C-alpha cells in the first residue's frame, strides 16, 4: 500500500531491490563497495532522501554520520558556490585564504590544548596518520606499545588494520605490528579498566612506561556502545599518569552528534592528545583532520600531506558547516530534538526483541537478540519510508541529521517502533 505523509512517500508495490542503475554499478565496482540496502539516491535534502521512483525516506543515517547539518544545507551550498565562483577549485598544499579561515575557525572552536591540525581527505587517512604519529612519538620517547579495542573500526589501510577489529585483521598482509595490544571492549555497565589486563600475548605485564598510547573510538561503532564512565575515568587517569597518549577516533561522534562539539567531551573534562575528525566535518564533501599539539603533529618523519588535502571547496564547506552547527540558536533548537530522540529511543526497550538501547545525543544503537531480527526491522523501516543504518549485525543504528524536524522525528520513531512490533508478531506466529 502506498504511503504518503509530509515526510515520507513510498509507492504502492514498493519492493527493496536492485534497480537498473544499481545493477549497472554492481558490474562496474567491487561488490564490497556496494551498499547492502539497495536504494538509489537521486536527491538528499535536509533529513530526506529521494530515489528516482517517487520514494522519499526520513534519513536516520545522516548518510552514514556525515550530514550533521542536513543534506544539501543551503548555507553550505552557498559557501561552495562562492568558492566555485572564485575560480579556485584546487590548490595542492599552497596557502589559500579559505584554508586559513577554516583551520582558524576549527582550532578556535576546539579546546586550546589542540594547537595544530593536519588536513587530509578521509577518516581512514587520518586514523592511519594518527597511528604513524603515535609510532613516531613512541620511538622518540623510547616507548613501544599501542593499546586498542577488539571490535573497533578505524578505517581502511594497513596501519588501520593493525589497530582495529582484532589482532588478526592485518594478517592478509603477511606483516604484523606485534606492539599493538587489544583489550576486550567493556560492553557491560559494571566493567572496569584494570591496568593488570595490559598484557602481552605471552602473559607478561606491559610496563606502564612502555605504553605509547591508547586508541579509542569515542563509542564503539556497530552498536553505539559507550564506555562505562568509571572505565573511561580510570583508563584516562592511568594513561595520563603513565605518560601515554590518548587518541579518540571521533569520526562518528564529532561535530555535535552527541551534543557537544566533540563526543569525547560527554565523558567529562578530558584532554586527549590526539583526536581524529572526518564525516560530519563538512556535512558533505570529503575532508578530515587530526587535531593535536605541535610536538606530536609536527614530526618531519611523518611526512603527512596529500594532493587533495585541504581542497578549497572542502574547506569552504567545512567552514560553513561549523559556523552553522555552532550557532547558539541552532544549538538550543537541537537540544530539544535530541531530548525527543533520546526519550523516544529509550522507550523501545519495552519490546522483548530489543536487548539494549544505547543512546546519547543524536545517535542510538538498538541491540537485538539476533542479526536476522535486526535486519528485518531495517527492511520494514525502509518499506515504510524510514532509512536506518543496517549494520548486518545484531544492531541497527539511528542518527538523523541534527536539523531534523521534531514532527518528522516522532514519525520516524513510530515507524521504527511499528517495525519492531511487526517483526515480533511474525516471530510469535512462526
Ligand X SMILES: Cc1ncc(COP(=O)(O)O)c(C=O)c1O
Contacts with ligand X by CB under 6 A lie at 122-124, 127, 153-155, 217, 221, 249, 251-252, 278
> What's the closest the beta carbon of residue 219 comes to ligand X, in angstroms?
9
Question: Taking a C-beta distance cutoff of 8 angstroms, is the pair 101, 319 a contact?
Answer: yes
Q: Could you say which DSSP state residue 180 is in?
A: E
Q: How far is the CB of 210 from ligand X (least distance, A)?
A: 26
Min separation Cβ 329 and ligand X, Å: 29
Nearer to ligand X, 249 or 273 (CB): 249
Nearest alpha carbon to residue 399 among 189, 221, 232: 221
In angstroms, give the least distance from the CB of 157 to ligand X: 8
CB of 124 to ligand X, least distance (A): 3
Pairing, β 211-217 against β 245-249: parallel
Between 127 and 198, name the residue whose CB sits nearer to ligand X. Answer: 127
Q: How far apart are CA 243 and CA 89, in angstroms?
A: 42
Least Cβ distance, residue 285 to ligand X (angstroms): 12
Task: Dump the DSSP string for 7-34.
Answer: S-EE-TT------HHHHHHHHHS-GGGS
Residue nearest to ligand X (CB): 123
Rank residues 122 and 403 by Cβ distance to ligand X and give the closer one: 122
Pairing between β-strand 219-220 and β-strand 180-183 as defined by DSSP bridges: unpaired
Q: In sequence order, what are the residues at sequence separation of 6 or more whose Cβ sits closer than 8 angstroms to the Cβ of residue 21?
A: 40
Secondary structure class of 154 (helix, strand, coil): coil
| Nearest approach, Cβ of residue 127 and ligand X (Å) | 5
**Which of helix, strand or coil describes residue 233?**
helix
**Judged by CB, which is closer to ligand X: 61, or 252?**
252
Instruction: Return the closest-CA partner of residue 323 out of 78, 81, 153, 115.
Output: 78
Q: Quick one: 221 or 344, whose CB is closer to ligand X?
A: 221
What the block records as the C-alpha cell of 62 is: 545522516
Residue 218 C-beta: closest distance to ligand X, Å: 8
Instruction: Identify which of residues 160 and 417 has a Cβ nearer to ligand X in the complex.
Output: 160
Say if CB 117 and CB 106 are below 8 A apart.
yes
Contact between 7 and 58 (Cβ < 8 Å): yes
Q: How far apart are CA 317 and CA 310, in angstroms?
A: 11
Closest contact distance (angstroms) between CB of 106 and ligand X is 17
- Which one, 130 or 206, has the nearer CB to ligand X? 130
Phi, psi of 308 (to 5 degrees): -100, 0
Which residue lies nearer to ligand X by CB, 127 or 247? 127
The Cα 285–Cα 290 span in angstroms is: 17
Tell me the three cell numbers of residue 278. 572526518
Helix (H, G, I), strand (E, B) or coil at 146: strand
Q: CB nearer to ligand X: give 153 or 236.
A: 153
> What is the smallest separation between the CB atom of 378 and ligand X, expressed in angstroms?
17
Count other Cβ atoms within 10 Å, centred on residue 209. Answer: 12
Residue whose C-alpha is closest to residue 261's, from 108, 385, 379: 108
Q: Which is nearer to ligand X, 7 or 219 (CB)?
A: 219
Q: Is 72 exposed, middle or buried (0-12, 13-18, 19+ CB in 10 A)?
A: middle
CB of 169 to ligand X, least distance (A): 13
DSSP for 257-315 reads: TTSSSSGGGGGSS---SEEEE-GGGTSSS--EEEEE-HHHH--GGG----SSTT-HHHH
Closer residue to ligand X in complex, CB, 291/423: 291
**Which one-letter DSSP state was computed for residue 42?**
S
Amino acid at each position: 500500500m502506498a504511503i504518503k505523509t509530509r515526510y515520507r512517500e513510498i509507492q504502492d508495490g514498493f519492493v527493496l531491490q536492485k534497480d537498473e542503475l544499481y545493477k549497472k554499478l554492481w558490474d562496474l565496482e567491487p561488490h564490497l563497495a556496494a551498499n547492502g540496502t539497495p536504494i538509489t539516491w537521486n536527491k538528499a535534502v535536509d533529513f530526506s532522501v529521494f530515489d528516482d521512483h517517487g520514494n522519499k525516506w526520513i534519513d536516520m543515517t545522516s548518510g552514514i554520520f556525515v550530514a550533521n547539518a542536513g543534506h544539501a544545507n543551503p548555507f553550505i551550498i552557498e559557501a561552495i558556490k562562492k568558492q566555485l565562483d572564485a575560480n579556485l577549485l584546487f590548490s595542492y598544499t599552497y596557502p589559500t585564504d579559505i584554508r586559513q579561515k577554516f583551520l582558524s575557525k576549527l582550532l578556535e572552536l576546539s579546546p586550546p590544548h589542540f594547537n595544530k591540525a593536519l588536513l587530509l581527505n578521509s577518516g581512514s587517512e587520518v586514523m592511519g596518520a594518527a597511528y604513524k604519529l603515535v609510532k613516531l612519538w613512541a620511538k622518540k620517547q623510547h616507548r613501544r606499545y599501542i593499546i586498542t579495542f577488539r571490535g573497533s573500526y578505524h578505517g581502511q589501510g594497513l596501519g588501520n588494520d593493525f589497530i582495529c577489529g582484532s589482532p588478526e585483521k592485518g594478517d592478509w598482509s603477511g606483516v604484523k605490528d606485534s606492539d599493538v595490544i587489544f583489550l576486550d571492549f567493556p560492553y557491560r555497565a559494571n566493567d572496569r579498566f584494570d591496568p593488570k589486563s595490559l598484557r602481552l600475548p605471552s602473559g607478561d605485564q606491559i610496563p606502564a612506561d612502555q605504553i605509547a598510547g591508547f586508541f579509542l573510538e569515542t563509542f564503539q561503532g556497530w552498536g553505539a556502545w559507550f564506555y562505562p564512565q568509571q572505565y573511561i575515568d580510570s583508563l584516562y587517569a592511568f594513561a595520563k599518569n603513565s605518560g601515554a597518549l590518548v587518541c579518540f577516533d571521533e569520526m562518528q561522534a564529532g561535530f555535535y552528534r552527541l551534543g557537544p562539539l566533540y563526543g569525547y567531551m560527554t565523558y567529562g573534562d578530558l584532554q586527549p592528545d590526539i583526536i581524529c575528525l572526518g564525516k560530519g566535518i563538512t556535512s558533505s564533501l570529503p575532508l578530515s583532520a587530526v587535531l593535536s599539539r605541535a610536538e606530536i603533529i609536527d614530526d618531519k618523519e611523518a611526512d603527512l600531506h596529500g594532493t587533495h588535502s585541504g581542497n578549497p571547496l572542502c574547506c569552504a564547506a567545512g567552514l560553513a558547516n561549523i559556523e552553522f552547527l555552532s550557532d547558539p540558536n541552532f544549538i538550543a533548537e537541537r537540544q530539544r530534538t535530541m531530548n525527543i530522540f533520546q526519550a523516544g529511543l529509550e522507550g523501545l526497550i519495552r519490546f522483548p526483541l530489543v536487548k539494549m538501547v544505547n543512546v546519547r545525543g543524536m545517535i542510538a544503537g538498538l541491540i537485538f537478540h539476533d542479526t536476522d531480527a535486526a535486519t528485518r526491522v531495517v527492511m520494514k523501516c525502509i518499506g515504510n519510508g524510514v532509512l536506518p543504518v543496517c549494520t548486518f549485525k545484531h544492531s541497527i543504528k539511528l542518527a538523523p541529521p541534527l536539523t531534523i524536524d521534531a514532527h518528522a522525528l516522532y514519525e520516524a520513531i513510530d515507524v521504527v517502533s511499528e517495525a519492531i512490533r511487526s517483526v515480533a508478531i511474525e516471530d510469535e506466529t512462526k
